[in-house]
Amino acid sequence: MTRVLLIDDHPMVLQGCRCVLQDAHVQDIHEAGDAVAGYRAYRRCRPDMVVIDLALHGNGLGGFALIRRIRVHDSRTSILVFSMHGDAVIVSRALEAGANGYLLKDTAPEDFLAAFQAVRRGQPYLSHQLAMQVATLGMRSRENMIGTVTPRELQTMALIADGKSYGQIADELGVSYKTVVNTCSQLKVKLGAHNLPELMRMSIEFLSSSPSRRPGSLVRHVA
């Protein structure tokens, strides 16, 4: 049986969500009306699924902070954001904080149930429109960050994309191993990569998007 925690400071929203879930034979449902009460309820009932609004009140602990706090202790519980805010930046922040899905409050009951069921199964959920907006935002942000990358960093990205190790990159560029490590650390910060495999994937994606940025041409021509 799925245990669900609904966190929203609008009683009508809580009632509506409860009715939709009960009609779908979800019975173990808990509620909280603000962020502090929501966190206490989470600690008390240990839900399998949390449906949460972002615009919550309660001693400065809003929806984003509550999602992050839950994720510090728990990577298992599925989190669906149910919000009136459709801005791509807000959606991206919620997903980065640890939400598994995001749904707008002007949606139909059947769409709410579809999102709930998808996230409960462990699948990410975004409507097609939100997914396109978030993807577009990500591409724009990536291009803006790439604009700050130096020629040497681009050269290093080319070799990373080619599968070279730190030692091989150092030999090919004629620099020290430590210099390569530092350069890659700077690239991770600029691109938002958390580890080397992620940096390699992002380098491949960026460099393959333009023939002028292919690994071979960069290594030969970037000074």
If you classify domain 3-138 with CATH, what class do you get?
alpha beta
- Cα angle vertex 46, ends 124, 62, to 5°? 65
| Cβ–Cβ < 8 Å for 6, 17 | yes
pLDDT of residue 221: 38
pLDDT of residue 28: 97
pLDDT of residue 58: 53
pTM for this prediction: 0.62
**The CATH number, out of the four listed (3.40.1350.10, 1.10.10.10, 2.60.40.650, 1.20.140.10), of the domain defined by the range 147-221:** 1.10.10.10
Q: What is the DSSP string of 102-131?
A: EEETTS-HHHHHHHHHHHHTT--EE-HHHH
Which single residue is written with the structure tokens 């396109």?
A: 132
| Cβ–Cβ < 8 Å for 37, 83 | no
Sign of the C-alpha dihedral computed for residues 206, 209, 211 and 215 taken in this order: positive
pLDDT of residue 16: 96
Residue ranges matching CATH 3.40.50.2300 in the chain: 3-138
Residue ranges matching CATH 1.10.10.10 in the chain: 147-221
What is the block-wise mean pLDDT of the chain (223 residues), using blocks of 10 residues? Answer: 94 95 96 93 96 75 85 92 85 87 92 94 84 65 64 88 88 92 85 80 70 43 39
